[in-house]
Amino acid sequence: MGTVHGVYLKYVGLSALSYAGYSFLSTDPSSLGSGRTLLAEDEEASRSLVKMLPVVAMGYSTILNGAIAVLFKMEWGMGLIGKNKTTGQIPRWSYIVFFPFHLPTMLYTKIHSKISRTKVEDPSSGEKKYKRVPPATEVQPGWWVGGYNADELGPKEWGGIVDLTVEFPESCRNRTKHYLSAPTWDGVPLSPADLESAAIFAVEARKDGDVLVHCAHGRGRSTTVMCACLVKAGLFSDWEEAFEKGIKPYR
């Protein structure tokens, strides 16, 4: 299971929209044909710093999201956001410095988690119906796949958590005995060595309780790692069987 191609296009789109906003805001229609000199315009701009802030923000967003899109494609720079691998938290400075990345990412993910639906079979009638994708799903006994909002399950205690997000703080850090932060961009899988390490960690943590493997939405990164975990635990012979029989019917 490789890279989910096209995820980086979200940030290409953000960069393009930011540039459009920058171009629009930096154009002063009132100056067209007004006869004002460039010096006069510069002096007026210097007195209107507040008006320039949105222009600067849009220009910064253009550059930052464009750079992040490149990092996505290169599968590099996962530590840029500054997430602490021990606590699972993102420092305050990161939200300030990288606000053009954090704000749309949080907004998109929260909306997606509210409207995302999956088709499940009603046990009583056998009829398949659409229902909201839960914060996390137990795909095999003691093995859970979920999103950034797994804390919505309630005060559940975990034997271990494998956190694959770069972009979100760990919401269940104080409710798990063991924690592994393996940050990777959305749509970018772990390296084979890191995948093996995550699977070994999860199998050991399973001895102390249920294990949660999560990314942002509980679909891509987390599913890839969960396949490795289920194979390492001896529940399935290979990742294809783990995905088709162990995860896909439930998540």
Instruction: Report the pLDDT value the prediction gives residue 251, as an integer from 0 to 100.
Output: 83
Identify the helix (H) or strand (E) that includes residue 187.
none
| 86 three-class SS | coil
Would residue 4 be called left, alpha or beta, if left means φ above 0 and alpha means ψ between -120 and 50 degrees? beta
**Out of 29-33, 51-55, 74-78, 236-240, least confident range:** 29-33
**Out of 33-42, 89-98, 174-183, 192-201, least confident range:** 33-42
pLDDT at 205 over 50: yes
What tens digit of pLDDT does each residue of 87-137 get?
999 999 999 999 999 999 999 999 988 888 777 666 667 777 778 889 999
Instruction: Report the pLDDT value the prediction gives residue 32, as an integer from 0 to 100.
Output: 45
pTM for the full model?
Answer: 0.86
Nearby residues of 200 by Cβ (< 8 Å), 6 or more positions away: 232
pLDDT at 7 over 90: no
| 66 three-class SS | helix
* % of the chain exceeding 90 in pLDDT: 69
Instruction: Report the pLDDT value the prediction gives residue 26, as an integer from 0 to 100.
Output: 83
pLDDT at 3 over 50: no
d(CA 45, CA 42): 5
Mean pLDDT of the chain: 89
Two structure tokens written together for 12: 């290409």
pLDDT at 35 over 80: no
Mean pLDDT of 13-38: 74
Nearby residues of 161 by Cβ (< 8 Å), 6 or more positions away: 170, 172, 173, 176, 178, 179, 180, 205, 211, 212, 213, 214
pLDDT band for 27, please (50, 70, 90 cuts): confident
d(CA 48, CA 117): 47
Instruction: Report the pLDDT value the prediction gives residue 2, as an integer from 0 to 100.
Output: 43
List, in sequence order, every beta strand (DSSP E) within 167-207: 176-181
Give 83's DSSP letter: -
pLDDT at 195 over 60: yes
pLDDT at 185 over 70: yes
Mean pLDDT of 73-92: 95
pLDDT band for 138, please (50, 70, 90 cuts): very high
Instruction: Report the pLDDT value the prediction gives residue 45, as an integer from 0 to 100.
Output: 56
pLDDT at 51 over 80: no
d(CA 229, CA 101): 31
Q: What is the Cα 167 distance to its own chain's centre?
A: 5
| 112 three-class SS | helix
* Other C-beta atoms lying within 10 Å of the C-beta of residue 41: 13
Contact 203, 154 (CB under 8 A): no
Mean pLDDT of 230-246: 97
